[in-house]
Structure 1
Amino acid sequence: MTQPQIDSRAFRNALGRFATGIAIVTAIDPDGNPIGLTVNAFSAVSLEPALVLWCLDNGSHNLEAFRHASHHAINILSVEQKDLSNRFATWPTDRFAGLPWQKGIGGAPVFPNCCATFEVANEAAHAGGDHTIFIGRVENFTETVALAPLLFHAGQYRKLADVQED
């Protein structure tokens, strides 16, 4: 069976019509150094047991470190953390330099002032086209209800607007 030809740029643009939250996923690499990157491919999988997933491009230089990490922290960013999102979406020498963070379960960096943080055991990794799908078993989580989430839609950062229904 032949696969239909899809324009990958047009496909990406269409996917961008789905508004997503922004997260920074962190872990400790085999040398004991913190690693992390910005993602918007994050989702709940199951309530019982508590499972979440996130996706990483197979071309990422951190792929093997994330595969071998015992734990990940998924830091859901607030609208006030756009600069943090940008920092972890680019490749500076040390993304963690000068940033406040604390060790979560398995040492995975947890950032302050996030909307929510999920500390997960690295349960499984599955091939998914040009990405790897990581499934994590939630061992701890925190939530700050008063913070608004940072969103991404159509290639731009966005924030929630209250919409009143009649």
Structure 2
Amino acid sequence: MHTRAPRAEKREFDTRHFRQALSQFATGVTVITTRLADGQFLGLTASSFNSVSLDPPLILWSLGNAANSMPVFSGNSHYVVNILSAEQGWLAEQFASKKTDRFEGVEFSLSRTGHPILKGSSAWFECHNRSRYPEGDHVIFVGEVEHCEFTPQAPLVYHSGQFIQTLP
């Protein structure tokens, strides 16, 4: 069921102010990975990750409408959400870059469906691309988790525009 509330009141702030306010919320950092039809891998950094449901096991993340990778993530049946550990700030930066080969120098294995699982991640979730919801300038992806694993360790955290390494 998808419902919309009555229209919100007129805003008295701009996008920059809103972004700065949002930056005060510390989030974990993920790299979402998938495989293209030609066998190449695609990955991107996302801090918009959250659990949705335990039964069935559902997670969500979002991607900007203008992202070049939107057609791939919208059309693929599966992807992997890799939760980065405190030591993986360099991976967050690499997968957020404009680099052509974001997997250069990255160690990974393949999930059961052939999608990259980043070595050293504190957890990963192999998801069926269950549904997508366009909202504002993003699309919210809901994934049904088919397999997951974890290694308890300190997470990488994003706060006020910076990656922060937490204590173990």
TM-score (norm 2): 0.91
Structure 1 residues 159, 97: closer, same or farther in 2, change over 3 A? closer
Q: Is the 8 A contact 1:120 1:139 kept in 2?
A: yes
Counterpart of 1:36 in structure 2 is 43
**Of 148, 155, 158, the match for 2:161:** 155
CA displacement at 1:113 relative to structure 2: 0.7
- Note the 1:59-70 alignment, pairs <5 A: 59-70=66-77
Structure 2 residue 90 is matched with structure 1 residue 90 = no
Paired with 1:2 and 1:71, the residues of 2 have a C-alpha distance of 35
Contact 1:42-1:55 within 8 A present in 2 as well: yes
Percent of matched pairs sharing the same residue: 40
> Closer, same or farther in 2 for the Cα pair 1:33/1:10, shift >3 Å?
same
RMSD: 1.4
Structure 1 position 73 matched with structure 2 position 98 = no
Partner of 2:134: 127
Gaps of 5+ in 1: none
> 2:119 maps to which residue?
112
Deviation at 1:4, TM superposition (A): 1.4
Whether contact under 8 Å (2:87, 2:165) holds in the other structure is no
The answer as to whether partners of 2:35 and 2:115 remain within 8 angstroms in 1 is yes
Aligned residues: 161
Name structure 2 gaps, 5 residues minimum: 1-6
Normalising by structure 1, what TM-score?
Answer: 0.92
Give the residue type in structure 1 aligned to 2:157: L
Which of 20, 30, 40 is residue 23 of structure 1 equivalent to?
A: 30
